[in-house]
Amino acid sequence: MKRNQSNAPHRVVVTGLGAVSPVGLDIPTTWESLVSGKSGVGYISSFDTTDFETKIAAEVKGFDPVRYVSRKQAQRMDRFTQFGVAASFQAVAEAGLKITPDNALETGVIIGTSVGGLLSAYRQMLVMVKHGPRRVDPILAPTMTGDAASVQVSLLLGTKGVNYAPSSACSSGSDAIGQAYELVRDGYTRVMLAGGTEAPIIPLVMAAFSNIRALSTRNDDPPGACRPFDAARDGFVMGEGAAMMVLEEAGCALARGAPILAEITGYGNTSDAFHLTRPAPDGASAARAVRLALDRGGVSQDEVDYINAHGTATPLNDRMETNVIKSVFGDRAKSIPISASKSMIGHLIGAAGGIEAVITVLALHHGVLPPTINLTQPDPACDLDYVPNVARKVRILTAVSNAFGFGGHNSVLVFRKYR
C-alpha cells in the first residue's frame, strides 16, 4: 500500500454513523432510547432456554434485512453480516457518501467481530450431525468467516480500498475504528467505513459464557440485570447488533460539504499478557492504552470531559477500569463523568467497542451524556461519577471511549469536537 505524497498527518473526521442495537434499529431511535435510560434486555426469544442458567439477553427486535438487501442476498448472509450491512448503509447515507469509480480505490472497509458467523456454523453443524456432511450448505464457507461482513459491505458498496476484519474479542470494533483512523491520518487512504458487528445470542455461545460464570443470572428482572459499578452486579448481559462510522480526511469531507460530527484524534492499543479472561488487576497495560491514545492525539488529561466506559458489570472488570481512570487522571478522575452503555444494550462482544465509540460521538455532538442505569448501590471500590440513572446535559469538547477485551486486549479511542 502506497502512502499519499504528503508526510504530514491528516486530520480525520467522522461524517456518518449507523447502528442496529437492542434499543433501536437506527441511530435516532437508539440514541433516544439511550438518553431516556431504556433497557434492551429481555427474555431470550431465539431459542429454548429451559436448560440454561441464564435466560436473558439484549436481542435486536424487529430487524428485517430486506430493508437493505434483497431476500436472496439476505439468505446468503449470517445475522452478524446482515447487521453490519445495515449499519454501514446507514452510515454512508448520513455521510452523503457516493462510491464511484473515481473514489472507490481510496475508500476502505474494516469491520471487527469476535465470533463472526458462528450462528450459521452452529446451524449447519446440526444439519451435518443429523443428515451427514453432504447436506451441509456450501454457502456456509463464505458465510461463517469473520470477514464475511466486511466482504459483503465492500461488494454491495463497491469499495476497492482496504478490506479486512480484526478479531480482538471485545476490542474488535474499537480496533477497526482505530486502524481505519491511522490509515486516513497517515495518508494511505481518504475514506474508511469502520466499526463492529456481532450476533452471539446462540445456544453454544450462551452456554460457553455461562459456564465460565461471566453472565448475569438475574432472570427475575431482565431490565435490571446489567448493573455496571453497582455492588449487586453479577455478570454481563449478552447483546447483539452493529455500529459503523464513516471516517474521512478532513479536507475531503469539507470539499464535498459533508456533515462533520466529530474529529478522531487518538488510538491506543496494548495487551495485558496476563490471563485468557481476567483483566490484569493493576490495570497497568489498560492505563497505558489510555495514555497512548491521548498522547498520540496531543490531548492532555486535563482536556478530557467524558469517558464512555467498557463497564461490563463484572466485579473484576469494573474495579480494574475504575483504577485505570484514577491512575491516568489522578485528582481529576472524580470530576470526569463516565457512562456505561452496556447497562442498557448489554455486551455486544466484538461490536461493543464500535457501538460505544458511536455513542461517544453522539454524546459529543449533542452535548448529552447517556446514563448508567441500574446503579442504585454503588460498589465502594467504584467511587467515580458514573452518571447514575439519568442522562446529563453538559458541554463537552473531548471524550474517551474504552474497550478492554478477553485475552487482555486494551483499545482506547479519543474523539473531539471538530474545530
5 pLDDT more than 80: no
pLDDT of residue 1: 43
Same domain, 231 and 296: no
**Of 255, 289, 316, which residue is a domain's last?**
255
Give CA–CA dist 368/19, Å, rounded: 18
**Of 222, 255, 288, which residue is a domain's last?**
255
1 assigned to some structural domain: no
Same domain, 270 and 250: no
Same domain, 356 and 303: yes
6 pLDDT more than 80: no
Q: Exactly one of 170, 365, 382, 409 is catalytic; which is it?
A: 170
Please state the rounded mean pLDDT for residues 33-51.
Answer: 98
Question: 347 catalytic, yes or no?
Answer: yes
Same domain, 281 and 317: yes
Mean pLDDT check: name the lowest of 5-14, 206-215, 281-290: 5-14
4 pLDDT more than 60: no
Encoded amino acid at 115, one letter: V
Same domain, 247 and 325: no
6 assigned to some structural domain: no
Give CA–CA dist 79/90, Å, rounded: 17
Same domain, 173 and 284: no
User: What is the residue-wise DSSP string for 271-318?
Assistant: E--S-SSSPPTT-HHHHHHHHHHHHHTT--GGG--EEE----S-HHHH
Same domain, 228 and 98: yes
The range of the structural domain enclosing residue 121 comes to 12-255
Is 247 strand, coil or helix? strand
Q: Exactly one of 310, 365, 382, 409 is catalytic; which is it?
A: 310
Write down the residue that cell numbers 492499543 correspond to. Answer: 269
7 assigned to some structural domain: no
CB 364 within 8 A of CB 417: yes
Please state the rounded mean pLDDT for residues 80-100.
Answer: 98
Encoded amino acid at 203, one letter: P
Number of structural domains in the chain: 2
pLDDT of residue 302: 96
Q: Exactly one of 347, 365, 382, 409 is catalytic; which is it?
A: 347
- Count Cβ atoms below 10 Å from residue 204 Cβ, excluding itself: 14
Q: What would the 3-class secondary structure string for 43-101 be?
A: ECCCCCCCCCCCCEEECCCCCCHHHCCCHHHHHCCCHHHHHHHHHHHHHHHHHCCCCCC
% of the chain surpassing 70 pLDDT: 98
pLDDT of residue 155: 98
Same domain, 251 and 270: no
Same domain, 215 and 346: no
Is 106 strand, coil or helix? helix
Angle between helices 284-296 and 315-329 (to 10 degrees): 50
At 227-286, the pLDDT tens digits run 999 999 999 999 999 999 999 999 999 999 999 999 999 999 999 999 998 898 889 999
Same domain, 290 and 169: no
Question: 131 catalytic, yes or no?
Answer: no
225 pLDDT more than 60: yes
Same domain, 353 and 249: no
CATH code at 180? 3.40.47.10
**Of 202, 232, 255, which residue is a domain's last?**
255
Backbone angles phi, psi at 154, to 5 degrees: -65, -45
